[in-house]
């Protein structure tokens, strides 16, 4: 989770990622940030995030992103 938070802070530093639950719905992250984030997550966690996974439910919070990452790692 720490690595995920570091990646998020590099992309958009002014957000409390530990507690924010509306990163997408609250417009904290824009589409360009999401594209950067997807690329960073794929590199950092050795996963591929298919387009079908790029939905608000998977990116609204650091916790939901971590769940998606772990699930994609398991599916490998």
Range of the domain at 71: 2-75
Structure tokens at 73: 């790692």
What is the tally of structural domains in the chain?
1
Instruction: Tell whether pTM > 0.85.
Output: yes
pLDDT tens digit sequence for 14-32 = 999 999 999 999 999 999 9
* Spatial CB neighbours of 59, under 8 Å, sequence gap ≥ 6: 23, 24, 29, 34, 37, 65
31: its two tokens: 């589409």
How big is the CA angle at 14 (ends 36 and 35), to the nearest 5 degrees? 10
Q: How much is the pLDDT for 10?
A: 96
Q: Which CATH number is 63's domain given?
A: 1.10.1200.10
Q: Give the residue carrying structure tokens 């990646």.
A: 7
């Amino acid at each position: 989770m720490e690595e995920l938070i570091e990646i998020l802070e590099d992309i958009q530093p002014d957000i409390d990622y530990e507690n924010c639950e509306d990163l997408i719905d609250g417009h904290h992250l824009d589409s360009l940030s999401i594209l950067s984030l997807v690329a960073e997550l794929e590199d950092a966690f050795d996963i591929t995030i298919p387009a079908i996974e790029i939905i608000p439910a998977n990116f609204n919070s650091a916790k939901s992103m971590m769940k998606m990452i772990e699930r994609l790692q398991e599916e490998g």
